[in-house]
A and B are shown apart, each in its own frame.
Chain A
Amino acid sequence: MSWAGKILRVNLTAGTVKSEPLNMDWAHDYIGSRGLGTKYLVEEVAATVDPLSADNKIIWATGPLTGTMASTGGRYTVITKGPLTGAIACSNSGGYWGAEFKMAGWDMIIFEGKSAKPVYLYVNDDVAELRDASHLWGKSVWETEATLKSSLQDPLTRVSSIGKAGENGVLFAAVVNDLHRAAGRSGVGAVMGSKNLKAIAVRGTKGVGNIRDPKAFMAAVKAGKKVLADNGVTGTGLPAMGTQVLMSVINEVGALPTRNHRDNQFEGAKDIGAEAMATPRKTDGKKHLVTNQACFGCTIACGRISKMDETHFTIENKPQYRGANGGLEYEAAWALGAANGVNDLEALQYANLLCNEEGIDPISFGATVGAVMELYEMGVLTKEQIGIDAKFGSAKTLAFLAEETIYGRGFGKEIGQGSKRLTAKYGHPELSMSSKGQEFPAYDGRAIQGIGLAYATSNRGGCHLRGYTIASEVLGIPVKTDPLEHEGKPDLVKAFQDATAAFDSSGLCIFTTFAWGLQDLSPQMQGACNEDYTIEELAKIGERIWNMEREFNNRAGFTHKDDSLPARLTSAEGACKTGPAKGKFNMLADMLPKYYAARGWDNEGRPTAATKERLGL
């Protein structure tokens, strides 16, 4: 049935590692990965817990399709209560770690408590033990992986770890695996660090089997792969240009937030997108982009591998950054670039490398720098405080602040608190472009009505991945809706959020939804797991997961007031200045009550008894 049927429970306080049978009722009702890991978390952890305390738990969860031949079958999710937001934190990652862990014969690991000393978890099939990590503490993500592989004398080991940022409690610290893939948002890395847990090194030889109906499964997998191959986005655009293909598209739609959302189009967009990465540089005649990269099982291969200009000022005396390395995604390029008005592609890649090397979320980091630059230009922050002049557009400032933040030096310590706390400290909370404390990603909620609503209602704070209505509002997938129109968006957002939760729980990558709908996921899930997983059932499970997350947040103290957007996004004063959305702002006040109604919630955003009963909550 595609689940391994076993989970690891690690008590870091006691130093024990135990095997436990997977709760198969919960597996049936919540599938895996996001849904199942969250179910365990909400059952075992009080929603009022302090995220960085020993009472919080942190879970690595694969899905039933992780480690199978289903396309993109390599993903895992890190679930905890997020220190950046105080809400449910659920960060998905690709690479190879998830599949290796599943192939070792496990579905999930639950970490409880706090270790007295730095440790790492070593998993090799049935062997799972905590080992001393004092020699690893203080190492970067990259050094940690290299050290583990060499000391274990096993190059096939996969490593999921934090860098110095997670150790030092940067509130948007990430968990990084396979050098440049990450469970990036909400500070899951800080929770890992707070438990003195440095890494999970895994080697799995058992493989994934137990497929319910192998013939039906492989036929469905083959059909799904064909749909991906034939689709313009997943079959051509993403492998060739990566997510960076979106930079010019979103800019032309007038939805590229620029300079802390002061503007909604960036004059430098052409310098930092896919086209720029593929154009030979004037300095050395070489292209920034070297090749693409897939994650485990992925037939899309949207990943970027890039090589920096060796003469660029950021790496003049740093040969360690000169080889091929994980390249810019759209989100990182936007957050490091447009959000700060920086159009120096090489500088963006340098900052991107630092984010991977020491494990921080480039979205929250970049957006926080944008707030800092605005405070500097207003005269609220000074050069003396920040350590450097911080005008919008300065590549030098971006590079400097990236270094300060990953190493926790000087003003970098303040940036590491995220924009909500930083702007509040300096008397301008309205300048944090965030919801529930998590910074918005690369789509302007004033120019695209649905995504603005999605940001405000996302269970993990400002996020595009919880309900990527961009697919419909900009790309016409599955049908085109008008980004400037707010009517009908509450239903659209709900539909995306529910379907996404199902995809996120399967072990597959959300990027398949550029081409697939639940009708493509269902036969693969039925073949591998359970005939029950019809389209309707998957949508219902997604809705169940969404409501479960919402209830956790409500218990944690969130109210309907937190389903909010900053005034800059909802007022005429903050309206878009240029482009197709000129004069527009987000109509949240109109959409939100309709969204609550569509969700079956009361007018304070709480699931009603009828809704809970229908969903089995």
Chain B
Amino acid sequence: MQKMLHINADKCTGCMQCEMACAFENYGTFATAKSRIKVFDFHHTGKKVPYTCTQCDEAWCLHACPVEAITVDKATGAKVVNESTCVGCKVCTIACPFGTINYVQETGKVQKCDLCEGSPACAEACPTGAITFIDANWTGLGKMAQWADKLGNQPSAS
């Protein structure tokens, strides 16, 4: 079953454990500057929102790459950067409408979320369940449940 990262921003506290976990997984150091997932703290509303690649099926980054450095991991559905093929032209960073593939000046290549081969470190590290890794076909299940609750659990008149 293919899974995907699900973000419930209501639960995010801004702790940055996800960013550290991502960097530790990929670079062996706790470096939020190297994380592929970023948490955005909207001061005016108090909301914290983690954001990263949503693994487009028809991915702009994959199609834009002139050397076919981005391929699909069949098992996870993730779009993965092959660093030895990547030439660092950064066209993918321009093509992606969501900004979730970015250049890494220290290596000269680009990086993006690759779902950690099916065990995403960010979801593992998140203490509140703001980031979960769930059935890709049913990311709406949580919200459906909330509304089904309102519909079905009306107080009865009798």
Contact = CB atoms under 8 A, between A and B. Distances in A.
On whether the two chains bind one another, the answer is yes
A204 B128 CA distance: 26
Contacts of B128: 301
A68 interface: yes
Interface stretch (B27-35, B74-82, B90-98): B27-35
Contacts of A307: 46
B125 interface: yes
Interface in A261-310: 290-299, 301, 303, 305, 307
Given A207-B33, A208-B30, A69 B125 contact: yes
B13 A207 contact: no
Contact of A67 (B21, B30, B43): B30
Nearest to A100: B32
Interface in A182-203: 203
A301 B33 contact: no
**Size bracket, chain B contacts:** 20 to 34
Interface string A150-180: 0000001000000000000000000000010
Give the one of B13, B17, B46 with max A CB within 10 A.
Answer: B46
A609 interface: no
A207 B43 contact: no
B23 interface: yes
A2 to B, nearest CB: 10
B33 A323 contact: no
Given A206-B31, A207-B23, A208-B29, A297 B46 contact: no
Interface residues of A, number: 39
Interface in B1-46: 10, 13-17, 20-21, 23-24, 27-34, 43-46
B15 A207 contact: no
A551 B30 CA distance: 37
A103 interface: yes
B23 to A, nearest CB: 6
A297 B34 contact: no
Contact of A292 (B13, B33, B44): B13
Contacts of A203: 33
Contacts of A156: 33
A565 B147 CA distance: 58
A315 to B, nearest CB: 15
B42 to A, nearest CB: 8
A103 B28 contact: no
Given A207-B33, A208-B29, A291-B10, 6 more contacts: A207-B31, A214-B28, A290-B46, A295-B15, A324-B45, A324-B46
11 contacts: A96-B16, A103-B32, A103-B33, A204-B33, A207-B34, A209-B28, A209-B29, A225-B127, A290-B45, A291-B47, A323-B43
